[in-house]
Structure 1
Amino acid sequence: MSCFPSLPNKADFQRLQEEVKSALPSITSLSSISHWHLPEVLANCLPESLSHANRTEQCVLQKMKQDFASMIASYLQQPITRWPFFVFLGGAMFCLLASSTCHLLSCHSEILSYIMLRVDYAGIAVLITTSFYPPVYYSFMCNPFFRNMYLSVITLMGIATTLVSLLPVFQNPEFRTFRASLFFGMGVSGIAPILHKLILYKDEPAALYTTAYEVAMGVFYGLGALVYALRIPEKWKPGKFDIAGNSHQLFHVLVVIAAYTHYRAGLIYLQWRDAKGC
């Protein structure tokens, strides 16, 4: 204001400043707005009008109004909800805690070993289920129908798989294929929302980055399951990996890497939706 005393509509601008101060008490002074680079603005405004100061002042004022509006919009924009991301983190922690508790207590007695093994399987079902929440919720945040449909399907499948893992009646050998099919179906069902996301947002870099992370997550989970099922490497040298380096330990390492990969994808989802909303 002191540099350009003849700014047009100076009184209106001052009134706007006072209104913003009263509406947003944390903004105490317009001098705190550090992104108004007047030298750059003047460099763009002066060359064609060195002899016409009023045009230069109008140009500067227009730039200030635009930056001021952008600053207010950024200030008022609230970050999107975080609960789907926290649901995934809680599911991952529950799975790893259940597995650790199973390994710690399963040697206590036969009955406790049986119970803890069931809890361990339930933890795996919880991890798979909650892993769907960030990608599904944030990918279809602006499409409530598909968001609710995908979340409902995976939640129901997760509840069914958890019950099958915990209830004694389903532990009989004749239900082994049924139990394996439920876990396999939960994992494969993630392909549908990922492909749907790529169709809707094929031009969004965030959609491609998150898909790359999700593919890497699937590779780590699959590799861990393969190592565990084939008993690699102890089947090649029996007795050499009884203490360290056996398939079960490698399986857990790969699961942690996969969960961390999914965590990194979740951060990209949050940044994407915070910046663009719907």
Structure 2
Amino acid sequence: MPLKSYTGDKSSLLRWDEVPDDFVECFILSGYRRLHLTAQECLASIFQPTNETLNFWTHFIPLVLFVSKFYQVFFLSSDLPFHHPALLPLWCYASGVLLTFAMSCTAHVFSCRSLRLRAAFFFLDYASISYYGFASTVAYSYYLLPRLNLLDPTVMTPYLQSLGWHRVDYNMLMALYSELVLPVAFVLAVTCTVACCKSRSEDCSYPFAIRTFVFAMPLSMACPVMIESLLFDLGRKNPTLFVYFYRRYFWLLVAAFFNVSKIPERIQPGWFDIIGHSHQLFHIFTFLSIYDQMHYVEQGLEQFLKAPHTSPTLQGTIGYMVLLTVCLGLVVRKYLKGLANTKQD
């Protein structure tokens, strides 16, 4: 029997037991779109009450807001031309933020085109999140980390000597850290994408917990800021960084809670199929976390422009992002090849 085309009314939507297993979300009982919708029907569905509608809008609206914000920063607010080397880390960061929201929007809209395209879109979604995590580290490494007392040998060497650690060569440690921070973040980005793609396999027992954990791994790159706040009075020295940094991680913890717990739909399955389920809440709190991050990245840029520690290079910024894009593309290609042998539309 041929599939009915999507008309937007409730009768065209399906229950969880009427769609392929790959489509079923935990505790979401209804509101599923049919498989093999056309691109036009997929786009039309974002204006209709399905269980993917608000998944799209909770990322599309932030995407528009961030496009406006970055346009203002690059072209209206800064005294520098948009192609100035000092802005290269910010371009990397902007590309990560915008790509993450754009790819998530695309995945949620077109995920019902076919099983293979659904897998492809979500693999690309995982890759874009890893890309964003690395792009954030690029911005941190130029705009935030060099201004921390923790990474300043002239501050930390006397501090360590006062603790009796006279043999620690802090200059060497910081030189090593500066050399390794981006390569380590690069490896973590690729590793996280591999783990998340693998989590979509049929033998994975806890996919949401795994994805939440592996995407928390790159957050270790922010440990210097946390240690700084423990050893020094970061709240007084840099209140903007202190407040927005910790509020960002509060939002991330809340987002992780909803992503793993599947609350509120776990408590009352069927009630939150269209509005209010955990993935929508996950999107909202993720947006809040990136919005707060943008505040202290922008402030870091302002301080960097006043007294730059190093000059960003094309190879150390855009070059890294291009190489990461190639590596993540190879990872996605590998897992799509594996799906071709195991899943049929």
Equivalent in the alignment of 1:139: 144
The whole-number CA distance in structure 2 between the counterparts of 1:260 and 1:118 is 24
Give the superposed CA RMSD: 3.2
Q: So what's the TM-score if we normalise by structure 2?
A: 0.50
Equivalent in the alignment of 1:221: 252
Structure 1, residues 35-88: CA drift from partner, whole Å, max 9, x if none? xxxxxxxxxxxxxxxxxxxxxxxxxxxxxxxxxxxxxxxx9xxx9812212211
Equivalent in the alignment of 1:240: 271
Equivalent in the alignment of 1:173: 203
Judged with a 3 Å threshold, the aligned counterparts in structure 2 of structure 1 residues 239 and 203 are, in CA distance, closer, same or farther, namely: closer
Q: Say whether the 8 Å CA contact 1:234–1:246 is kept in structure 2.
A: yes
Q: Give the letter for the 2:98 counterpart.
A: M
Per-residue deviation at 1:265?
1.0
Structure with max Cα Rg: 1
Structure 1, residues 165-185: CA drift from partner, whole Å, max 9, x if none? 45x698463696876653332
1:212 aligns with 2:254: no
- Structure 2 residue runs of 5 or longer lacking an equivalent are 1-78, 152-173, 310-345
Helix, strand or coil at the partner of 2:120:
helix
Q: Say whether the 8 Å CA contact 1:129–1:186 is kept in structure 2.
A: yes
The whole-number CA distance in structure 1 between the counterparts of 2:233 and 2:264 is 41
Structure 1, residues 120-152: CA drift from partner, whole Å, max 9, x if none? 222222222222222232234477833332222
1:107 aligns with 2:112: yes
The whole-number CA distance in structure 2 between the counterparts of 1:258 and 1:121 is 18
Q: Within 5 A, what are the aligned runs for 1:127-166?
A: 127-141=132-146, 145=175, 146-166=177-197
Judged with a 3 Å threshold, the aligned counterparts in structure 2 of structure 1 residues 222 and 196 are, in CA distance, closer, same or farther, namely: closer
Moved more, 205-214 or 93-102: 205-214
Equivalent in the alignment of 2:290: 259
Helix, strand or coil at the partner of 1:232:
coil
Q: Say whether the 8 Å CA contact 1:102–1:117 is kept in structure 2.
A: yes
Q: Say whether the 8 Å CA contact 2:93–2:132 is kept in structure 1.
A: yes
Structure 1, residues 80-139: CA drift from partner, whole Å, max 9, x if none? 812212211111111111111111111111111111121122222222222222223223
1:85 aligns with 2:90: yes
Moved more, 204-213 or 217-226: 204-213
The whole-number CA distance in structure 1 between the counterparts of 2:230 and 2:240 is 14
Equivalent in the alignment of 1:19: none
Q: Give the letter for the 1:184 counterpart.
A: A
The whole-number CA distance in structure 2 between the counterparts of 1:147 and 1:204 is 25
Q: So what's the TM-score if we normalise by structure 1?
A: 0.60
1:98 aligns with 2:88: no
Per-residue deviation at 1:206?
5.9
The whole-number CA distance in structure 2 between the counterparts of 1:201 and 1:249 is 37
Equivalent in the alignment of 1:182: 214
Helix, strand or coil at the partner of 2:143:
helix
- Correspondent of 1:123 among 96, 105, 128: 128
The whole-number CA distance in structure 2 between the counterparts of 1:147 and 1:191 is 14
Q: Say whether the 8 Å CA contact 1:126–1:162 is kept in structure 2.
A: no
More helix per residue: 1
Question: Higher relative contact order at CA 8 Å, sep ≥6: structure 1 or structure 2?
Answer: 2
Judged with a 3 Å threshold, the aligned counterparts in structure 2 of structure 1 residues 206 and 127 are, in CA distance, closer, same or farther, namely: farther
Q: Say whether the 8 Å CA contact 1:217–1:259 is kept in structure 2.
A: yes
The whole-number CA distance in structure 1 between the counterparts of 2:302 and 2:213 is 35
The whole-number CA distance in structure 2 between the counterparts of 1:107 and 1:164 is 23
Moved more, 95-104 or 190-199: 190-199
The whole-number CA distance in structure 2 between the counterparts of 1:261 and 1:159 is 25
Structure 1, residues 23-42: CA drift from partner, whole Å, max 9, x if none? xxxxxxxxxxxxxxxxxxxx
Q: Say whether the 8 Å CA contact 2:259–2:278 is kept in structure 1.
A: yes
Q: Give the letter for the 2:113 counterpart.
A: H
Judged with a 3 Å threshold, the aligned counterparts in structure 2 of structure 1 residues 184 and 240 are, in CA distance, closer, same or farther, namely: same
Q: Say whether the 8 Å CA contact 2:134–2:185 is kept in structure 1.
A: yes
The whole-number CA distance in structure 1 between the counterparts of 2:279 and 2:190 is 26
The whole-number CA distance in structure 2 between the counterparts of 1:127 and 1:178 is 18
- Structure 1 residue runs of 5 or longer lacking an equivalent are 1-74
